[in-house]
Amino acid sequence: MLTDLRGRARAGVSGRAARAAIRAEKRLEDSRIDVVPLADGIVELRGTVDTVDEARRAVELAQRPPAVRTVLNRLRVENEEERLARTRRRFAAGAADLHETHWYGMRSGMGRRRRGNDRRRVMDDEVETSGPDDEA
């Protein structure tokens, strides 16, 4: 019985280490991943991620701590339709990050001609660049 308790305690250590490694990753901090310790050094990843790359990264991070020897990947990759439906529900609920109206762009799409600087010189350049075939 005592060895069983020690095994559970070690399993808890490996689970906490794997969970901390995943939560430290900026890309995965909002993901719905549960880390379940199964035995000493064995953890299971359950939940849903948006892409296959996120699932691979979660497994890679869960394997990093020395206390973890084996990671069982039971993550489900959400398809695009489910992700869009979830975003629509969040929008309807008034999620602040989906209702931002601030635009951070500056001078976007403003080429030399549209700025109006030295318009005469631009028109002269166009005349000079016409080739001999254009003269009729």
- What's the CA gap between 33 and 46, in Å, rounded? 6
DSSP of 79-120: PHHHHHHHHHHHHHTT-GGGS-------STT--HHHHTTTHH
- HSE-CB for 84 with a 13 A CA cutoff: 3
What pLDDT, on the 0 to 100 scale, is given for residue 98? 81
- What's the CA gap between 25 and 55, in Å, rounded? 12
Give pTM, 2 decimals. 0.54
Whether 105 is covered by a domain: the verdict is no
Whether 31 is covered by a domain: the verdict is yes
**pLDDT tens digits, 11-69:** 677 888 888 888 888 888 778 899 999 988 899 999 988 888 999 999 999 999 998 99
Q: Is 109 left (phi over 0), alpha (psi -120 to 50) or beta?
A: left
User: How many structural domains are present in the chain?
Assistant: 1
CA 85 to chain centre: 18
> 15 near 66, Cβ under 8 Å?
no
Whether 38 is covered by a domain: the verdict is yes
> Residue 76: which domain range?
2-81
- HSE-CB for 12 with a 13 A CA cutoff: 6
- Residue 57, domain CATH: 3.30.1340.30
Whether 28 is covered by a domain: the verdict is yes
Whether 41 is covered by a domain: the verdict is yes
Whether 132 is covered by a domain: the verdict is no
**pLDDT tens digits, 17-29:** 888 888 888 888 7
